[in-house]
Amino acid sequence: MRNGRDIGRKIDSRKNLMLFSGRAYPELAEEVADHLGVDTVPTQLYDFANGEIFVRFEESVRGCDAFVVQSHSTPINQWLMEQLIMVDALKRANAKRITVVAPFYPYARQDKKHRGREPISARLIADLFKTAGAHRLMTVDLHTSQIQGFFDGPVDHLFALPLLADYLAAKLDTANVTVVSPDAGRVRVAERWTDRLGSPLAIIHKRRDPRVPNEVKVNEVVGDVAGRTCILVDDMIDTGGTIVKASDALFENGAAEVIVAATHGVLSGEAVDRLKNSRISEVVVTNTLPITDDRRFDKLTVLSIAHLLGDAIREAFEDGSVSRLFGDDA
């Protein structure tokens, strides 16, 4: 028989969404929080003198559905370690379910062995997240789709294509647009662009010189680009070398205008100067990574991904369909 104080006591079975932000890009996490109508959880985050990271959440997280947002910009290893420690802290504080929200998946370009004695670092990252205690992974435009299989659990692979394509479609005459893949590896992505815009496809055939690391030799353009507005599409812009050389090849083949659209604006090294001094008329990226004022330039347009992340988080929290956001309920 229950004692008197337990009579009539009801169990609160409501799920509790809690949003957490690392220090890499708190502005994006705040945008996501505003879209969801929640606040980010107050968190102590600081470095010890020797560089070790300390984490403590200032609210109880027991039984919550936790979403840990971290953008992996420079210094990428620090922000990766911070997110892993946050996940571990949530696991030890008895969070019910932990989702890693990594808009830019770290080490994504190291997804296979090109030669002997090389790591598959993208798989290692997935293993680290799982070991730390993550139940689910959410990311945007992976460098290769096979990375989804590296994580032992659900992976929500989001796409920025609708955001980027709709922005450009609203300002361009799509009848005069050609979508261009900068290499053979991006063809499938470019085909999705052509489906959305109703535009033809062109491909740039390139070959790397094995004697010169990080140098790309552009050979030829396959497709009709003469007199047309070309949209060069890629998942990221890092140093900008590939994109600028691809744009030069398009202009040499008679392109009237070249616009670049990419999800992740890494913009390392001399990327800003290369893009500023090129004939490219506009560079459109999303804010999966923070772009500081010194990396911004007149040709650069940054679109917010926050509403997409927020919608995906809501669907995951409510056990809905994240794929529904892209018109695919499969």
Instruction: Provide the pLDDT for residue 1.
Output: 46
* 190-203 per-position pLDDT tens digit: 999 999 999 999 99
Q: Per-residue pLDDT for 275 more than 80?
A: yes
Answer yes or no: 206 catalytic. Answer: yes
Among residues of the chain, what percentage have pLDDT more than 90? 86
Under 8 Å CB-to-CB from 199, ≥6 apart: which residues?
Answer: 174, 177, 178, 179, 193, 231
**What's the pTM value of the predicted model, to 2 decimals?**
0.92
Tell whether the model's pLDDT for residue 183 goes beyond 90: no
For the domain covering 161-303, report its CATH number.
Answer: 3.40.50.2020
Q: Can you give the pLDDT at residue 208?
A: 62
Say whether 161-303 and 17-159+307-324 share the same fold: yes
Catalytic residue among 91, 130, 206, 276: 206
Q: pLDDT tens across 147-170, in order?
A: 999 999 999 999 999 999 999 999
* CA 172 to the chain's CA centroid: 25
pLDDT at 305 over 60: yes
**Range with the poorest average pLDDT among 145-149, 210-214, 230-234:** 210-214
Domain residue ranges in the chain:
17-159+307-324, 161-303
Task: For residue 25, give the amino acid letter.
Answer: Y
pLDDT of residue 33: 98
CA gap 303, 291 in Å, rounded = 11
| Dist CA 322 CA 255 (whole Å) | 38
pLDDT at 207: 63
To which H or E segment does residue 33 belong? helix 26-36
Single-letter code of the amino acid located at 61: V
Give the CATH number of domain 17-159+307-324; options: 3.40.1280.10, 3.40.47.10, 3.40.50.2020, 3.40.50.10310. 3.40.50.2020
Residue 206 has pLDDT above 90, yes or no: no
